[in-house]
């Protein structure tokens, strides 16, 4: 098996469904030394690469606290690699308004920040983010076109930054424009001024470590060329020695889990059209499906006879609770009741369930690869 880096992906409070895209991308490319961590388990063991994906950067910082953020700084300064995507990129930046809510390891002023942002013309719930007297605003949402050494690469932008410059680092790609599938949230001329030619992907050093910051989601499953670029970033560095771990406790009986996931897929479709503003983020019902379908697809895989997928023994009961929660939300929505609190608890439970599942899944993938001596 070739050199595969050890990777941690943050899935705790403040993260969104988009960490699933990183998991899917790494799985597809055979990078299977992956663990999924929250604020308590973050950096409990030392990975080669730490990924913070989309969500709410302020909520991530609040959840990590100063102690957790210092752990991240110490990890990078001692030679670790940090990949920040969308909210994870904002999290790394130095902030004058909220210095306690950022890692503060990169000085790179953003172009989509203003005291008086341009007039919004679409998707008002996705447009603004309050930064204490100034506003982060999002000119374009959807598929953007990046210029990387003259090559055009497409990837989706869902609130990520555009950068004016970076101190002590380099701009690897700039925004060239956007496709017809994108939605303009401000006037086209204003969007061009704020986006075109501005930084989309940055790379820099922090003491002995390295940092990549991504505005767009290169890991999104609909963009294979961008996926390859994302994987190249992950592979750009040393990989620690693989130390086989004991098989974690759980169950290899997947019939009940498959049944529960099948029921969950039906239940979430019953929430079609629903959305909730939870904290600073809008969560549409489709995001429930990202968690459920990613698990569903993987419990359908054929297992080698000597390497069984072992899932957490609590997974059946967790999925049962999730199904009940979705049905309860559907009932209360029909009655015209507020379901924001229930939805917040639902998304937290989904992320937790999917995170423990993917820990077990990637452990199984690694065991299988080691047993066959096959590289991804």
- Secondary structure class of 176 (helix, strand, coil): strand
Looking at residue 245, its pLDDT comes to: 72
Residues 138 and 112: beta-carbon distance below 8 Å: yes
Q: Calculate what percentage of the chain has a pLDDT beyond 70.
A: 97
pLDDT at residue 2 tops 70: no
Compute the radius of gyration of the chain from its Cα atoms: 20
What count of other Cβ atoms lies within 10 Å of the Cβ of residue 196? 16
- Residues 311, 312, 317, 320, CA torsion sign: negative
Which segments of the chain belong to CATH 3.40.50.880? Answer: 7-235
Domain 7-235 has CATH 3.40.50.300: no
Point out the least confidently predicted range of 178-192, 241-255, 270-284, 288-302. 241-255
CA distance 299 to 244: 23
Which segments of the chain belong to CATH 1.20.5? Answer: 255-372
CA distance 281 to 11: 16
Looking at residue 375, its pLDDT comes to: 44
Q: Which two tokens stand for residue 358?
A: 């993917």
pTM summary value: 0.96
Looking at residue 1, its pLDDT comes to: 46
Which of 146 and 238 is assigned the larger pLDDT?
146
Beta bridge partners of 157: 142
Distances from the Cα of 189 to the Cα of 68, 196, 294, angstroms: 41, 10, 39
pLDDT at residue 98 tops 90: no
CA distance 148 to 158: 20
- Secondary structure class of 363 (helix, strand, coil): helix
Residues 4 and 376: beta-carbon distance below 8 Å: yes
- Secondary structure class of 177 (helix, strand, coil): strand
pLDDT tens-digit readout, 223-239: 999 999 999 999 999 88
The architecture (CATH level 2) of 255-372 comes to Up-down Bundle (1.20)
Give the strands of the sheet with 135-137, arranged side by side.
113-114, 135-137, 128-130
Residues in the chain: 376
Across the chain, mean pLDDT equals 94
pLDDT at residue 96 tops 80: no
Q: Which residues, other chains included, contact 88 with Cβ-Cβ below 8 Å and sequence gap of 6+?
A: 10, 51, 52, 53, 54, 55, 57, 60, 213
pLDDT band at residue 201 using 50, 70 and 90 as cut-offs: very high
pLDDT at residue 50 tops 60: yes
Looking at residue 376, its pLDDT comes to: 41
Looking at residue 102, its pLDDT comes to: 94
Looking at residue 241, its pLDDT comes to: 85
Q: Which among 353, 290, 357 is positioned nearest to 325, based on CA atoms?
A: 353
pLDDT at residue 343 tops 50: yes
- Secondary structure class of 13 (helix, strand, coil): coil
pLDDT at residue 100 tops 80: no
pLDDT tens-digit readout, 266-308: 999 999 999 999 988 899 999 999 999 999 999 998 777 678 8
**Strand 140-148, strand 135-137: pairing:** unpaired
pLDDT at residue 113 tops 80: yes
CA distance 300 to 302: 7
Mean pLDDT of the 146-162 span: 97
pLDDT at residue 149 tops 70: yes
Which of 302 and 181 is assigned the larger pLDDT?
181
What count of other Cβ atoms lies within 10 Å of the Cβ of residue 225? 12
Q: Which two tokens stand for residue 283?
A: 């969560």
Q: Tokens 């701009």 correspond to what residue? A: 171
């Amino acid at each position: 098996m070739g050199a595969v880096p050890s990777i941690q992906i943050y899935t705790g409070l403040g993260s969104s469904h988009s960490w699933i895209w990183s998991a899917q991308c790494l799985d597809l490319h055979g990078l299977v030394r992956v663990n999924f961590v929250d604020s308590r388990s973050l950096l409990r063991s030392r990975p080669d690469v730490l990924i913070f994906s989309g969500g709410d950067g302020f909520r991530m910082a609040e959840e990590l606290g100063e102690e957790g953020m210092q752990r991240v700084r110490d990890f990078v300064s001692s030679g670790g690699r940090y990949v920040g995507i969308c909210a994870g990129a904002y999290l790394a930046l130095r902030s004058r308004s909220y210095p306690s809510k950022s890692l503060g390891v990169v000085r790179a002023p953003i172009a989509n920040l203003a005291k008086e942002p341009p007039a919004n013309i679409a998707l008002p719930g996705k447009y603004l983010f309050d930064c204490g007297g100034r506003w982060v605003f999002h000119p374009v949402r959807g598929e953007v076109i990046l210029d990387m050494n003259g090559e055009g690469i497409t990837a989706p932008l869902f609130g990520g930054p555009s950068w004016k410059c970076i101190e002590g680092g380099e701009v690897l790609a700039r925004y060239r424009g956007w496709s017809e599938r994108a939605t303009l949230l401000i006037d086209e001329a204003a969007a061009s001024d704020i986006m075109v030619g501005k930084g989309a992907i940055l790379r820099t050093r922090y003491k002995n470590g390295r940092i990549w910051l991504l505005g767009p989601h290169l890991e999104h499953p609909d963009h294979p060329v961008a996926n390859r670029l994302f994987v190249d970033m992950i592979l750009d560095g040393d990989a620690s020695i693989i130390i086989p771990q004991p098989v974690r406790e759980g169950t290899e009986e997947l019939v009940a889990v498959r049944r529960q996931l099948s029921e969950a897929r039906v239940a979430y479709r019953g929430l079609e059209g629903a959305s909730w503003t939870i904290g600073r983020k809008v969560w549409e019902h489709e995001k429930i499906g990202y968690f459920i379908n990613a698990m569903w697809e993987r419990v359908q895989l054929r297992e080698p006879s000597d390497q069984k997928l072992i899932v957490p023994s609590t997974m059946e009961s967790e999925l049962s609770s999730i199904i009940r929660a979705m049905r309860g939300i559907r009932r209360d929505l029909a009655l015209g009741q507020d379901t924001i609190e229930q939805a917040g608890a639902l998304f937290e439970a989904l992320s937790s369930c999917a995170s423990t599942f993917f820990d077990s899944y990637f452990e199984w993938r690694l065991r299988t690869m080691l047993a066959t001596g096959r590289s991804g």
